[in-house]
Structure 1
Amino acid sequence: MSATWRGNHEPHGFRPSVIERMRILRRGIPLGLLVFGGLVLLLLVRLFERPIYGTQRPITPHITQFVCRNAFRILGITYATSGEPMHQKGAVVANHAGWLDIFSLNARKRVYFVSKSEVAGWPGIGWLARATGTVFINRDRKEAHSQIEVFRTRLMAGHKLLFFPEGTSSDSQRVLPFKSTLFAAFFTPDLREFMWVQPVTLRYFAPEGRDPRFYGWWGDMEFGPHLLQTLATKRQGRVELVYHTPVKVSDFAGRKELAAHCEAAVREGLGDLNVER
């Protein structure tokens, strides 16, 4: 992620009522047990999965999927998908609305996020990201070759790498311009001929009567208050994933053409929610 997107009237702070605090506890405790219990189980399984299978992860992704699917049940958020996740080797690119994207994208299909290297050092989140197989990259051009080799190894192992080409999260109601730089690695000789890319649209629908941007997380919004507000909501909204037709990298002249195609597909999938049209 790069520069933070700045939207108008960013919501700040959240002071829950007594009833809302009870709701936070009723949802937050089971959610915490699910996430951290799943993480502990995943780490234990990796103790024998890693030496036996190496880069392959035949078991632990199922734990991640279980956690993400049941997180939505605990939160009370309706989850639905349309389209078919691709089976070819390659990457997934999607619009980025906020922290809920992690659960949304992992619940249906096993994916491995690609994130900036700084995230690895973040308290809690960095540990969780490393445990679930996140690929960390530096922006240093000197490391471009080694990073491409990491991509190739992971892709050849059947991992679906997940990129957010917008470079930052938004208010969930728009698609920001895709940065074509992220697509450059796909066109190297080691990747271009076998790699496919699938655009995916994340559509968030706020609880009835709430701000349409309710699930978006952007700007200077703090994670804690946003999480608490999500937990406190009596009746939740829903999230829908639209899986678009995968495309082969070699069918495009270059990174800009591929980025433009993926952006158009994701933007179309957002439909009447997209205020950037």
Structure 2
Amino acid sequence: MSDWKASRMATRPVGVVGWLRVVARGGVLATVVYGGLLVLLLARLLERPLCGLNRPVTPYITQGVCRAALVILGIGYLQRGSPLTAPGAVVANHGSWLDIFALNAAQRVYFVAKSEVAGWPGIGWLARATGTAFIARKGSAAKAQQALFEARLRAGHRLLFFPEGTSTDALRVLPFKSTLFAAFYSLCLDNLLHIQPVTVVYHAPEGADPRFYGWWGDMTFAGHLLQVLAAPRQGLVEVQFHDPVPVDGFADRKALAEHCERVVRSAHPLAPA
């Protein structure tokens, strides 16, 4: 196991006041998230039979909930650049479960997640309802995943990938795996699609461990959520949208993956070069 995975972040005792913050913030957050989920499901009852795979309404609900979630948590938000408008996909570094809120707040996207996420309590329901595309980590599923990606892209969905393959301590950018990029070269859409690299940078609350917002190793979701909810002060998440690049501007998936990694890493002030 690498050093960054082996290291552990010291957690602060929550305390009585901290628990009050957990109850206050957590209660409002749960109401907004699951209330938004209910509204989304009701809207989808009409949207699905009328529009099929297209989702002209529900992504706006998801975006609104994610913006509200950051406000409820008290986490500052700074956006640089503009989200992709051309047909294509988005790739970003992955530091935390908070990426879902941060990346959805500025754009309407559909995440690509490992199939295990679909079964996670609470999170799995939200992921399925918001149109997450689930992929299996096995070669036998490659053709089915290719067909899924093609259908979603042809429907105008903007998919968002995390090419690192795992979340980190939010202080580094891991090498991008080129496997997922292969789909863009096998859909007969490479002359139409653009890929937009996005850098997500978390600035920890004053006096906190710089890795405060990172979620990695064997950290539990519940434990990390508790620490974030209990924090007396919050920090800032910065999302930088870089210039999109055409898929057919690169010879193969490895060249495209290397370019995206280089751009994302260059804009991350905390990550080593």
1:20 to 4, 18, 21: 18
The answer to which of 114-123 and 43-52 deviates more is: 114-123
How far has the Cα of 1:225 moved from its partner? 1.6
* Structure 1: tracts of 5 or more residues without a match: none
The reply to whether residue 123 of structure 1 matches residue 125 of structure 2 is no
Percent identity between the two aligned chains: 58
2:173 to 165, 175, 179: 175
Alignment of 1:134-145 (within 5 A): 134-145=132-143
Alignment of 1:74-223 (within 5 A): 74-223=72-221
Say whether the 8 Å CA contact 1:72–1:79 is kept in structure 2.
yes
Say whether the 8 Å CA contact 1:13–1:225 is kept in structure 2.
no
Say whether the 8 Å CA contact 2:146–2:187 is kept in structure 1.
no
How far has the Cα of 1:143 moved from its partner? 3.0
Q: Distance in 2 between matches of 1:189 and 1:56?
A: 19
Q: Deviations over 1:132-158 (max 9, x none)?
A: 000011233333223212211211222
Alignment of 1:37-48 (within 5 A): 37-48=35-46
Amino acid at match of 2:225: L
How far has the Cα of 1:5 moved from its partner? 8.8
Under a length normalisation based on structure 1, what TM-score does the superposition of the two structures give? 0.94
The answer to which of 228-237 and 189-198 deviates more is: 189-198
Q: Deviations over 1:53-76 (max 9, x none)?
A: 111101101110111001111111
Under a length normalisation based on structure 2, what TM-score does the superposition of the two structures give? 0.96
1:71 to 69, 72, 96: 69
Q: Distance in 2 between matches of 1:6 and 1:173?
A: 10
Question: In structure 2, do the counterparts of structure 1 residues 189 and 161 end up closer, same or farther at CA, with 3 Å as the change threshold?
Answer: closer
Amino acid at match of 1:104: A
- Equivalent in the alignment of 1:226: 224
Q: Secondary structure at the match of 1:241?
A: strand
1:240 to 228, 238, 241: 238
Amino acid at match of 1:92: V
Say whether the 8 Å CA contact 1:95–1:166 is kept in structure 2.
yes
Q: Secondary structure at the match of 1:79?
A: strand
Q: Secondary structure at the match of 1:41?
A: helix
Q: Secondary structure at the match of 2:160?
A: strand
Amino acid at match of 1:252: F
2:259 to 251, 258, 261: 261
Amino acid at match of 1:148: Q
Q: Distance in 2 between matches of 1:43 and 1:269?
A: 37
Say whether the 8 Å CA contact 2:150–2:187 is kept in structure 1.
no
Q: Distance in 2 between matches of 1:244 and 1:51?
A: 36
Q: Secondary structure at the match of 2:48?
A: helix
The answer to which of 82-91 and 144-153 deviates more is: 144-153
Q: Distance in 2 between matches of 1:171 and 1:141?
A: 29
Q: Deviations over 1:13-43 (max 9, x none)?
A: 6531111111111111000100110011111
Q: Distance in 1 between matches of 2:125 and 2:4?
A: 28
Alignment of 1:26-65 (within 5 A): 26-65=24-63
* Structure 2: tracts of 5 or more residues without a match: none
How far has the Cα of 1:44 moved from its partner? 0.9
Q: Secondary structure at the match of 1:115?
A: strand
Q: Distance in 2 between matches of 1:232 and 1:162?
A: 30
Give the alignment's Cα RMSD to 1 decimal. 1.6
Amino acid at match of 1:199: P
